[in-house]
A = this chain, B = another copy of it.
Amino acid sequence: MIVVMSPSSTKEETKKVEHKLLALGFKTHPIYGEVKTVIGAIGDKRMLDTQLITTMNGVEKIVPIMKPYKLAGKELKKDKTIIEIGDVRIGGEEIVLMAGPCAVEDEEAFYETARKVKAAGAKILRGGAFKPRTSPYAFQGLEEEGLHMLDRARNETGLLIVTEVVDTRDVETVAKYSDIVQIGARNMQNFRLLKEAGAANKPVLLKRGLSATIEEWLMAAEYVISTGNPNIILCERGIRTFETATRNTIDISAIPVVKELSHLPIIADPSHATGTWKYVNALSKAAVAAGADGLLIEVHNEPEKALCDGPQSLKPKKFAELVEELKIVAAAVQRKI
Contact residues, A44-84 vs B (CB, 8 A): 46-47, 49, 51-52, 54-56, 63, 65-66, 68, 75
Residues of B within 8 A of A216 (CB): 134
Known: A31-B42, A256-B283. A245 touches B307 (CB 8 A): no
Partner of A243, one of B239, B260, B311: B239
User: A163 interface residue, CB < 8 Å from B?
Assistant: no
- Give Cα distance in the complex from A7 to B67, angstroms: 11
Bitwise, A20-42 to B at CB < 8 A (1) or not (0) is: 00000000010111111010101
Question: In the complex, how many residues of chain A place their beta carbon closer than 8 angstroms to a beta carbon of chain B?
Answer: 105
B133, B136, B249, B309: the one within 8 Å of A253 (CB):
B249
The main secondary structure of chain A at its interface with chain B is mixed
The smallest beta-carbon distance between A276 and chain B, in angstroms, is: 9
Check A303 for interface membership: any CB of B closer than 8 A: yes
Picked from B135, B289, B290, B311, the residue with its CB within 8 Å of the CB of A68 is B135
- Chain B residues with Cβ below 8 Å from A139 are 49
Complex Cα–Cα for A313 and B285 (A): 25
A215 contacts chain B at the CB level, 8 A cutoff: yes
Q: Is A299 an interface residue, CB under 8 A from the partner?
A: no
Asked if A104 is an interface residue, CB under 8 A from chain B, the answer is: no
The reply to whether A278 and B253 contact each other, CB–CB distance below 8 Å, is: no
Given contacts A65-B33, A285-B289, A304-B55, contact A192 B166 (CB under 8 A): yes
In the complex, whether A226 has a CB less than 8 A from a CB of chain B is yes
Interface mask (A236-264 → B, CB under 8 Å = 1, otherwise 0):
00011111111001111111110011000
- Across-interface contacts of A281 in B (CB, < 8 A): 256
Pull 18 A–B residue pairs with CB atoms less than 8 Å apart, ordered by A.
A2-B38, A4-B65, A29-B31, A31-B40, A49-B307, A51-B306, A52-B305, A55-B304, A55-B306, A167-B168, A213-B242, A249-B249, A249-B251, A249-B253, A252-B283, A252-B286, A253-B279, A260-B278
